[in-house]
Structures are given as structure tokens and as C-alpha cells.
């Protein structure tokens, strides 16, 4: 009997050893990665980034730029980064987007520097009336080079992704044509704040400072006689329904800069490889899509407006042009003093901005290329 028990015990022990050996083989027997092959990372939840902006959901900035950039980032990161857009101020109001990004309400924000006047003293120098930016390519390239060269402290609390410019903005009037300086005096003209509001004052007009999203109502209620902005707004913000019967070209009076920035903590939380991919993809997307964008959508917007009803485009004479520029010159002088009062080298900053603008004006000489197309 003892012999039978002993044999049975040996069989059980052997079976246990075989089972244990099988488990070890199964656990360790996964095929090794092919030499030179990068092991695939385990499935992880994508980084989700909320992007706040003020453009309507139908505007090209949403439908072409933001949608296209988000797709490019998603593809370049193999789906590890997902950007969700919140248009029309649905996440953060237009004038609060930059601070909303700083505070982490939004991870990424796109808006206008001029909406928070005084917050960006160096960058606002690019908005001074009397400095010509022939077109949106000039405005965009000049702004990006200027920001790199001047490295303003005012945007060190975010990760700056890009800045692009509108280039010229024009005087769009509802019922009053403006052909000479005297015609604008006493009129209430819409402006999105910034130095151009001071320029309008110097011309004798009364600036009505409102974010672009509020212009339609103000014009329809007669609060403004017109506004100075890119003509694309007649389609993009439907302003052609309430103004723009007369359009006076004023390239010296307007330049708008838009920012795209990311919350600094969010940026620093990303892995180095994702940061590298976002940087490279963003630079490529910017170069291919942003400079010159406003010239294209201005052309579309003006054509759309003319298709709705007749519009008269007015070009100031050379002599009249000089009168306007002379009238707004004090704005630049006052701004230099303002920069100096902030402990900044005002004269040097203004000189740098003018030199960069002139550099790109020579490269891209077409003024308001959307007119007459």
C-alpha cells in the first residue's frame, strides 16, 4: 500500500511540475521584437486639448485652419493628441481668451492681441496706424520675425504657437461714402480697440470699441456709421448685410494680429516627443496655410458682398492719402512715450517694426491684392 501511495505521489508531483513549466513558457514565450523594430506603446488615452476662439463656426479660420491643423496634429501623433474646437466664444469670450489660456480654462486659444489693450505693449506696435503692411503675407511674416527678434516678456506666460496678420483693413460704410478726410469727421466708426482707435480719433471720428462678434448688432441698430476691418468680415461675420455699400481703402490705418497660444503647464506636461511633433507640424502647417490667408478670404468676402448688391470701392488720391497719414502720425509718437513709460525702449521697438515691415513690403509689394478680383 505504501508503494502505491508513493507512486501516486510521484505522479501528482510530476503533473504539478509540468503545469508550472507550461505556465512559465506561456508567460515568457512572447516573440521578441525584430531587431531595429520599435516596440509599439501600450494603448493609452489620447491627450485632449480644448481650443477656444471667437470666430463663427462657419468662418474659414474654423473650417479650414483650426480643423486642418487639428487633423494634422492628430495624424502626426498617431492619434495621441486630440484637439477639440470651441468656436464663437462658447468656451471663453473673445477678450478673455488669452487669460483663459493662462489660467487653464482653455488649453489653446486663438484671438486678437488688440482685444486686451495694454496687455501686449511690444506686439501692439505692429498695429500702429501709419505703418503700411501691403498684404497679409507681409503682416504675418513681419509679426513672426518681430516676435522672435524682440522676444517680448508679455507672452512668456504661455507657449506661443504662431501669430498671423490680416494685413490691410478698410473703411466699410453703410450709407456715407468717405472720399476725403472731412467726410469721416464726426462719424462713429467701429474698431476692435488698439492703436487704430487712437488713429480714428486723430482723423476726427469717434471710435466705437467692440469685439467683431458684436459689430452686426451695433451696425443694424445704427450705433455705428461703419467700421474699419478686413472686407472678409462682410461674409465671415455677415457684416455685408448691414454695411459696406461704400468701401474706402485704408491700408495705412489697419493691421490686425491674431495669436495662437497654449497653456504653459499643459505644454510642459507633454512628452518631449509629442512636443517635437507639435512644433514641427505647426511650423509646417503655418508656412503652408497662414501667411496670405486673409488676402484669399478678403477676395472671397468682397466677391460675396458684391454678388449680394452693388458696392463702390473708393481709392484715396495720393494727396489725400498723405493728409490722412500726417493726421495720424501723433499716434506713433505717443506710443513711443507709452513704451518708454513701461521701461521699454520705445524708439528701438518702433524702428525694428518699421524695418521688418519694409523688408517684407519689398518682398510682397502687392497692396490689397484682393481688390478688383
Domain map (residue ranges) of the chain: 47-117+134-165+256-293, 170-255+295-363
- Please count the other Cβ atoms lying within 10 Å of the Cβ belonging to residue 36: 5
In the Cβ-directed half-sphere of 17, how many Cα atoms lie within 13 Å?
6
Q: Which architecture characterizes domain 170-255+295-363 according to CATH?
A: 3-Layer(aba) Sandwich (3.40)
Give the homologous superfamily in CATH for domain 47-117+134-165+256-293: Bacterial extracellular solute-binding protein, family 7 (3.40.190.170)
> pTM score, two decimals?
0.84
Residue 252: name the closest of 305, 323, 306 by CA. Answer: 323
47-117+134-165+256-293 with 170-255+295-363: one CATH topology? yes
Pairing relation of β-strands 226-229 and 206-209? unpaired
Cβ(123)–Cβ(155) below 8 Å: yes
Residue 229: name the closest of 255, 260, 201 by CA. Answer: 255
Cβ(67)–Cβ(84) below 8 Å: no
Give pLDDT tens digits along the chain (373 positions).
Answer: 434 433 444 444 444 444 544 444 444 444 444 444 444 455 689 999 999 999 999 999 999 999 999 999 999 999 999 999 999 999 999 999 999 999 999 999 999 999 998 999 999 999 999 999 999 999 999 999 999 999 999 999 999 999 999 999 999 999 999 999 999 999 999 998 778 899 999 999 999 999 999 999 999 999 999 999 999 999 999 999 999 999 999 989 999 999 999 999 999 999 999 999 999 999 999 999 999 999 999 999 999 999 999 999 999 999 999 999 999 999 999 999 999 999 999 999 999 999 999 999 999 999 889 986 5
Amino acid at each position: 500500500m505504501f508503494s502505491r501511495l508513493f507512486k501516486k505521489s510521484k505522479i501528482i508531483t510530476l503533473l504539478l511540475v509540468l503545469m508550472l513549466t507550461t505556465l512559465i513558457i506561456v508567460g515568457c514565450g512572447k516573440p521578441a521584437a525584430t531587431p531595429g523594430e520599435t516596440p509599439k506603446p501600450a494603448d493609452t488615452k489620447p491627450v485632449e486639448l480644448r481650443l477656444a476662439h471667437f470666430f463663427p463656426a462657419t468662418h474659414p479660420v474654423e473650417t479650414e485652419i483650426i480643423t486642418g491643423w487639428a487633423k494634422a496634429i492628430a495624424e502626426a501623433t498617431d492619434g495621441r493628441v486630440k484637439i477639440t474646437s470651441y468656436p464663437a466664444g462658447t468656451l471663453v469670450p473673445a477678450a478673455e481668451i488669452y487669460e483663459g489660456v493662462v489660467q487653464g480654462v482653455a488649453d489653446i486659444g486663438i484671438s486678437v492681441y488688440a482685444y486686451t489693450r495694454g496687455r501686449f505693449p511690444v506686439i501692439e506696435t505692429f498695429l500702429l496706424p501709419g505703418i503700411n503692411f501691403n498684404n497679409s503675407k507681409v503682416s504675418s511674416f513681419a509679426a513672426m520675425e518681430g516676435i522672435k527678434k524682440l522676444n517680448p516678456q508679455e507672452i512668456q506666460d504661455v507657449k506661443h504657437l504662431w501669430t498671423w496678420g490680416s494685413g490691410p483693413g478698410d473703411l466699410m460704410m453703410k450709407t456715407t461714402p468717405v472720399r476725403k478726410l472731412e467726410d469721416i469727421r464726426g462719424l462713429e466708426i467701429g474698431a476692435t480697440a488698439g492703436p487704430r482707435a487712437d488713429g480714428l480719433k486723430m482723423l476726427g471720428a469717434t471710435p466705437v470699441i467692440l469685439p467683431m462678434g458684436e459689430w452686426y448688432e451695433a451696425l443694424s441698430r445704427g450705433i455705428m456709421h461703419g467700421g474699419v476691418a478686413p472686407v472678409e468680415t462682410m461674409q465671415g461675420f455677415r457684416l455685408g448685410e448691414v454695411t459696406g455699400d461704400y468701401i474706402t481703402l485704408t491700408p495705412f490705418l489697419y493691421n490686425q494680429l491674431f495669436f495662437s497660444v497654449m497653456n504653459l503647464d499643459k505644454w510642459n506636461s507633454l512628452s518631449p516627443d509629442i512636443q517635437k511633433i507639435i512644433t514641427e507640424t505647426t511650423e509646417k502647417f503655418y508656412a503652408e496655410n497662414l501667411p496670405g490667408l486673409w488676402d484669399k478670404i478678403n477676395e472671397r468676402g468682397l466677391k460675396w458682398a458684391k454678388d449680394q448688391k452693388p458696392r463702390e470701392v473708393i481709392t484715396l488720391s495720393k494727396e489725400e492719402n498723405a493728409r490722412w497719414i500726417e493726421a495720424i502720425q501723433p499716434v506713433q509718437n505717443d506710443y513711443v512715450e507709452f513704451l518708454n513709460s513701461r521701461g521699454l525702449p520705445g524708439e528701438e521697438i518702433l524702428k525694428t517694426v518699421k524695418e521688418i515691415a519694409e523688408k517684407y513690403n519689398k518682398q510682397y509689394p502687392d497692396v490689397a491684392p484682393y481688390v478688383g478680383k
